[in-house]
Structure 1
Amino acid sequence: MYDVIGIGVGPYNLGLAALLEQTGELDAVFFEKTPSFVWHPGMLVEKMDLQVPFLADLATFADPKSPYTFMNYLYENDRMFPFFFHQHFKVPRQEYNHYLQWVANQLSNLRFGHTVIDVIDHKDDDIPHYQVVAEETATGEKKYVKAKHVVMGTGNEPVVLDGMDGLPNEDIIHSSRYLFEKDHLLKAKHVTVVGSGQSALEVFLDLLEEQERQDMKVTLFTRTGGLFQLDQAKFAQEMFTPEYVDYFHGLSLDQRKEALDTLKPLRKGIDPETLTRLYTKLYHRTTAGEASRVLIQPMTEVKDIEAVDDGYQLNCRQWQEEHDFTYHSDKVVLATGYKPHIPDWFSTRFKDKVKWEEDGMYQVSRDYQLEFHDDRNHHFFTLTNLVHSHGAGATNLGLSVHRNVHIINTIAGKTLYKNQQDTTFQQFSMKHYGNE
């Protein structure tokens, strides 16, 4: 009987596993279907950085003395002086992936190559618990493991346009597979990128920088009104603090939805350095009279894509002018984002047991437990599908450590890791003033 079983090993559950192993007080095991740890392998574009500083690693906000901090990674890999002279607060994506792999290779509580196919709730046993069924990929052997608590960290899955499933994967690809298909894309005469976030700009910029043939054209269609940069102002960043999560979680669902709309510049903006690199590239490109090889068009929604004899036809709409048009391309990269991945076993076993705020939005406590219709002491925590309950910070790497501290302390029934307090200069709620 473990204290906790983790389902899925991405950065969030990896950080939880690292902190749990450091406590020496809680027994845990984590199951992951992939054979080894890898983070967004299709988007590890060279020269692209994380959008958060290096302090947002797996452990620093909970325990700066942990052996699993990014600074210790630099020390153990003889990279302290290069990082010091680099004088860059953000971590390159490729190095961040290597750091995560370095941590994963040191932990004894991870089981790769195991897919969780079922979770059974034994709430009426003498010791209420969950039974997790994990299937080993290599052998097909099923393993039955018990735990007092579970943590679901099943991550996200790509969002594609309706009707895209039947089109060839090598021609119409999601940005999550970009690097796997990059060589094929660069052989095409015309590649269109669809999307308005960071991933779309990274793919578009990388194609431009690799675009060597004179007969190759690259297009970017964005649904947003323009290429707007991420709000990195200091007071705006206070929305990624425990205090704001407390405030956001206490709002009604309608108020939370409205707040998420106001926070779009923090959630959907593009890194200023990426935009600067793109503008500089375009400036030099137009000097050589090659502007016709590049098209950037905002306010454009791609409704669907059809296969035609010589490529693909994109059926588009410029929504501000209310103008419909068609556009031809040889290849299409859909940087259309992700949605929470909810396993089939969850819908089968727990859909009717948990409370729902709205279709697709389960009710989650402040300390990340699913709210059940019955009272229970064996908890089901979730790291997946939390934006509606905990705000923009639900996908923030720095706040993921804060979230893990909440979960660990709740499981332990005491404070094993201190959570930071009084982290903002702004006051969000008026409730502490009473009713005066």
Structure 2
Amino acid sequence: MKQSVTVEAGGARMPETTTPHHFVAGIGAGPANLSLAALAGRHLPERVVLFDRQSGPSWHSGMLGADARLQNSWIKDLVSLVDPCNRLSFLNYLVTTGRIFAFLNAQFTAVPRVEYARYLAWAAGELGTVHYGVDVVEVDFTDRFVVRGRNGAVATADHLVLGLGTRPRVPECFRSGTGLIEGAVLAEHLDAHLNRSEAPPAGQVIVVGGGQTGAEAVQCLIRRGYRDIRWLGRRHWFAPLDDSPPANDFYRPTYQKFFYQLPDEVRRSYLAEQAYTSDGISLDTLQEIYRANYEAFLRDGRAPVMLLPGRDVVRAGSTGGGLGLWCERGSGGRERHTAGLVVIATGREPAPMPLSAALHELVETDNAGEPLIEQDYSVRWKHSTAHKLFLQNRGRFTHGLADPNLSLLSVRSAMIVNSLADREAYTIRDEQVYTMWA
């Protein structure tokens, strides 16, 4: 097996007969696949090799502002819940980089997101099996998986793991061709947009989206000196994250097993009820926005942020004064808002899978066209006995809200390793449970 692949940079098409072959290849080098590669180690015949389109380590690079914090405990890192002695733990990262005492003394209630991004980059470097700058456009299957970039095959593999992450979900009314309508910007591009802007922080700005990303966009605008921010959310309030002990029971292996056995209609009902345990706003973030409003009112007699919940944007278009938004109100009726800049923070959706048409035909799907995922995160498909295909971050409707979340990252990876090794390489223990779900 070759450990180094430089196919895309040279632009030469490699014959598939000479393409490097791997036991397990992973597409995407985000937290999901980094966790898998970190845990696979001594349990598989070869190290897991990852391919990522980014030019280097990157994780939500446009959303690492000064106030951005993780909504999970630092102990829910790449490895610690199943292998706390693993060298790629967050604790070892802090010790190795010499920041452990400064980190402890800072007394963070939640880890800064920029710190977590640096941790992931450190782990990728330690692994040494991540190939950046490889834009995988198609995965095919002959007698093995064939991973193709823009210039031909870059690898073949016995088994494949897709850890593709998510992309911003953009309402249709904000689309224009392949991009956004003029005057709109994605929340993850807000910092870069403001850095390029020559206009002073004057005039009205609208943030659309009532979740954590929307709240962080509001914080960013406050820091930049904007004083006329309208924050629109579809729900009837800007709901805080439920981080209570009963809520966190949904983010443990025992509940995941229970959830998987439920009928489809029951699972979907439970997901709707549990939404605020995953999609709510961190309490600290809400408190900071409310405090900024209060203190600004003391100084200036005017708060910078107007909160407008219960508004569903159904239409957007250019007006004489900028970009106009037409909203349906939860209590009935419509209203219009106009701003020079509209920030879109309307959630995320799974990234498209690069499966070839021939491979997709071999995959079993549900009524929505999504692959059927087994309890070990493998996909039901024709050759699954000898060649396993795994999906990460795509099992919300089968494994619960913990799946696209970072909470059980290492548990999911351990289950995949166990499946690939065809034995219990990792014992997942969750025995002290006080709740009996029904």
The alignment's TM-score, normalised by the length of structure 1, stands at: 0.90
Given the alignment, which residue of 259, 281, 294 partners 1:283? 294
Verify: 1:46 aligned to 2:56, yes or no: no
Q: Determine whether 1:97 maps to 2:117.
A: yes
Query: 1:49, CA displacement in angstroms?
Result: 1.1
Tell me: CA distance 1:132–1:265, structure 2 relative to 1, closer, same or farther (3 Å). Answer: same
Aligned-residue RMSD, C-alpha: 2.0
C-alpha distance in 1 between matches for 2:296 and 2:163: 44
Distance, in Å, in 2 between the alignment partners of 1:19 and 1:408 is 7
1:248 aligned onto 2:248: no
CA distance in 2, matches of 1:374, 1:26: 21
Which is richer in strand?
Answer: 1
1:238 lines up with 2:249 in the alignment: yes
Q: Is 1:26 aligned to 2:46, yes or no?
A: yes
The correspondence of residues 158-237 of structure 1 with structure 2, limited to 5 A, is: 158-166=168-176, 171-183=183-195, 184=197, 187-211=201-225, 216-237=227-248
* One-letter code aligned to 1:307: S
Quick one: distance in 2 between partners of 1:171 and 1:373?
47
The correspondence for 2:392, drawn from 373, 383, 397, is 383
- Deviation (angstroms), 1:13: 0.7
Corresponding residue for 1:433? none
Q: How far, CA to CA, are the matches of 1:175 and 1:277 in structure 2?
A: 19
Instruction: Verify the 8 A CA contact 1:28 1:109 in the aligned structure 2.
Output: yes
Paired residue for 1:10, among 30, 34, 47?
Answer: 30
Encode CA deviations 1:290-313: one digit per residue, 9 max, x unaligned.
436431111011112101233111
Q: State which drifts further: 247-256 or 370-379.
A: 370-379
Change (3 A) 1:103 1:317: same
Conserved 8 A contact 2:168-2:349? yes
SS at match of 2:51: strand
- Match of 2:135, SS state, is strand
Q: Does 1:334 align with 2:354?
A: no
2:83 counterpart of 1:71: no
Q: Does 1:426 align with 2:398?
A: no
- Runs of 4 or more above 4 Å deviation: 167-170
Secondary structure of residue in 2 paired with 1:115:
coil
Q: For the Cα contact (< 8 Å) 1:174–1:336, is it kept in 2?
A: no
What CA distance in whole angstroms lies between the structure 2 residues aligned with 1:295 and 1:268? 21
Q: 1:397 deviation in Å?
A: 1.2
**Cα distance between partner residues in 2 of 1:260 and 1:225:** 19
Consecutive unaligned residues of structure 2, counting only runs of 5 or more, are 1-20
Question: What is aligned with 2:108?
Answer: 88
Would you say how many aligned residue pairs link Structure 1 and Structure 2? 414
Q: Distance in 2 between matches of 1:349 and 1:145?
A: 18
| CA–CA separation in structure 1 for the residues paired with 2:117 and 2:426 | 25
- Rounded Cα–Cα distance in structure 1 between residues aligned with 2:110 and 2:429: 22
| Partner in structure 2 of residue 432 of structure 1 | none
In structure 1, runs of 5+ residues without a counterpart are 136-140, 430-436
> Kindly tell me: are residues 359 and 11 of structure 1, through their superposed partners in 2, closer, same or farther at Cα, counting changes over 3 Å?
same
Identity %: 27
Farther off after superposition, 175-184 or 147-156? 175-184
Post-superposition offset of 1:289: 4.2
Q: Within 5 Å, give how 1:356-435 maps onto structure 2.
A: 356-372=365-381, 376-428=385-437
1:263 and 2:274 aligned: yes
Q: TM-score, normalised by structure 2?
A: 0.89
Select between 184-193 and 64-73 the one with higher mean Cα deviation.
184-193
SS in 2 for 1:397: coil
1:421 counterpart letter in structure 2? D
